[in-house]
Structure 1
Amino acid sequence: MAALGNRVARLVLPLLGTRALHTSQGNPAAKVAVVLSGCGVYDGTEIHEASAILVHLSRAGAVVTMFAPDIPQLHVIDHSKGEASQESRNVLAESARIARGEISALSQLIAQDHDAVIFPGGFGAAKNLSSFAVDGESCHVLADVQRVLQEFSKVKKPIGLCCIAPVLAAKVIPGVEVTVGQEEEQGGKWPHAGTAKAINALGGKHCAKEVHEVHVDKTHRVVTTPAFMGHVPLHTIFDGIGAMVSAVIKLTGK
């Protein structure tokens, strides 16, 4: 059975055109790196957010390259039960599911090769790219994530983040302005509203926004949108991510 599966993969994968899927034809608007943190909202990248980012980048004509750290996940969640399992998985290998195999180790991401970088959300940003989910305001950020964010910031290339991912920028870019939504729960509409206070404690400045909106820090060239931090229909999240991608592309000047 395994031999048959390998044979099918060899026959089918070349036909899928993974590179073509994430690269628009014609004159590209920008070269954009997308950093993933696994595959699945509770222990990796939020898949709807990653997909929305890729669709909007495709519409913008961008050349997209995906990266993820080659490290073990903090843990693996059974998404049907919301419980941790005993298995272990690799962040890069899991992220490759979203990237359809076209992905590189985060250690290979260099700012000079790209015009912008975007980080989707999902708990992987708070568990695998940082320790925010465990340590809160005293968290550390993965060394390669810190390096990438600071490299792009230093050369004034735009950075996009959504959902919980803005905590990464707040930790490593002093004084950065970001949004994770509203600062009060509003009857359960914003269940993670406390993250706004953590943003300020991390050294950033939180700016309240709705899910369909973005905040653009023109000084640091950082664009953020709340995404799944708020309880709204899926299309509203898609629209907010589209606004984030559009603002990032605009800042590249391409």
Structure 2
Amino acid sequence: MKKQIGVVLSGCGVYDGSEIHESVLTLLTIDQLGAEAICMAPDVELEEIDHLTGRLTGIKRNVLVESARIARGRIRDIASVKVSDLDAIIFPGGFGAAKNLSNFATNGVDAIIDPEVSRLLRGMAAEKKPIGAICIAPVLIAATLGRDYSPCLTIGTDTDVASAILSTGSRHSSCAVTGSVVDQENKIITTPAYMLAERISEISEGITKTVRALLELTEAK
């Protein structure tokens, strides 16, 4: 049976949702490695940003509905997903991770995580099921699991975000855009992607390494 890998999306577009390049490369690599992606997102409405101008439009969009664009309609409300449904879970980046799945964008080190995201992260960690996070998404892991698990994470070389991660009790390891950081003990893999990258080709290698390590850790006892 194919490994079931949860892919948590946060909308559609880098400024107010999931970063599309990171999301698509994650889905592509999961498929290429013979696993099955289970896409999910929270059913909430949040502000829309015009990706041409970078300004708020004054419109609210549903995160689940917007995420369905990336998932080609095959997506679930995260509230309906159980830890037992998944062999591993991964979070693409994009500001949606810091605005829709949490309020890290406004609250920083005092960020509150979406309760369903927190539920799945805590459940996966408790059962030693692998967790992956890309770009800014490692802040979700830090805020949720930092004090209990002291995970080793990377967001690349951004000292401000690294400092926020350290303040949660997590550890931070600087990493090149083409690399990934594997916390073997906690089965957590992270990669910087567009926290450092300028081009889509730069993020591909790090995401491939991250997804590959995620799947390898599903076999580790």
Smaller-chain TM-score bracket: over 0.9
Aligned counterpart, 2:107:
135
Aligned counterpart, 1:52:
25
- Whether 1:228 and 2:203 are equivalent positions in the alignment is no
- Provide Cα deviations, 1:134-189, integer angstroms capped at 9, x if missing partner: 11111100100100000000000000100000000001112111000014xxxxxx
Matches within 5 A, 1:187-206: 193-206=159-172
| Residues in 1 aligned to 2:198 and 2:15: alpha-carbon distance in whole angstroms | 18
Displacement of 1:209 in angstroms is: 0.4
Please give the secondary structure, in 2, of the residue aligned with 1:76: strand
Matches within 5 A, 1:1-254: 28=2, 30-73=3-46, 75-174=47-146, 175-183=150-158, 193-253=159-219
| Residues in 2 aligned to 1:55 and 1:235: alpha-carbon distance in whole angstroms | 14
Displacement of 1:207 in angstroms is: 0.6
| Residues in 2 aligned to 1:112 and 1:233: alpha-carbon distance in whole angstroms | 36
Query: Would you tell me which structure has more strand in proportion to its own residues?
Result: 2
Q: Is the 8 A contact 2:197 2:203 kept in 1?
A: no
**TM-score (norm: length of structure 1):** 0.83
**TM-score (norm: length of structure 2):** 0.96
- Provide Cα deviations, 1:100-148, integer angstroms capped at 9, x if missing partner: 1010100011111110001000000000000000111111001001000
Displacement of 1:241 in angstroms is: 0.3
Q: For structure 1, list consecutive stretches of 5 or more residues without a partner in the other structure.
A: 1-26, 184-192
- Provide Cα deviations, 1:166-217, integer angstroms capped at 9, x if missing partner: 000001112111000014xxxxxxxxx4211111012211111001110011
Q: Which amino acid aligns with 2:84?
A: Q
| Residues in 2 aligned to 1:87 and 1:233: alpha-carbon distance in whole angstroms | 30
| Residues in 1 aligned to 2:67 and 2:140: alpha-carbon distance in whole angstroms | 18
Asked which structure has the greater CA Rg, the reply is 1
| Residues in 2 aligned to 1:224 and 1:209: alpha-carbon distance in whole angstroms | 9
Q: For structure 2, list consecutive stretches of 5 or more residues without a partner in the other structure.
A: none
Q: Which amino acid aligns with 1:235?
A: S
| Residues in 2 aligned to 1:109 and 1:214: alpha-carbon distance in whole angstroms | 27
Displacement of 1:231 in angstroms is: 3.3
- Provide Cα deviations, 1:56-102, integer angstroms capped at 9, x if missing partner: 001111111110000112x1100000001111101000000000101
| Residues in 2 aligned to 1:89 and 1:171: alpha-carbon distance in whole angstroms | 25
Query: What is the RMSD of the two structures over their aligned residues, measured on CA atoms?
Result: 1.1
Please give the secondary structure, in 2, of the residue aligned with 1:164: coil
Q: Which amino acid aligns with 1:141?
A: I
| Residues in 2 aligned to 1:58 and 1:171: alpha-carbon distance in whole angstroms | 29
| Residues in 1 aligned to 2:164 and 2:218: alpha-carbon distance in whole angstroms | 29
Report the number of matched residues: 217
Please give the secondary structure, in 1, of the residue aligned with 2:217: helix
| Residues in 2 aligned to 1:167 and 1:202: alpha-carbon distance in whole angstroms | 9
Displacement of 1:232 in angstroms is: 3.5
Displacement of 1:253 in angstroms is: 1.1
Please give the secondary structure, in 2, of the residue aligned with 1:88: strand
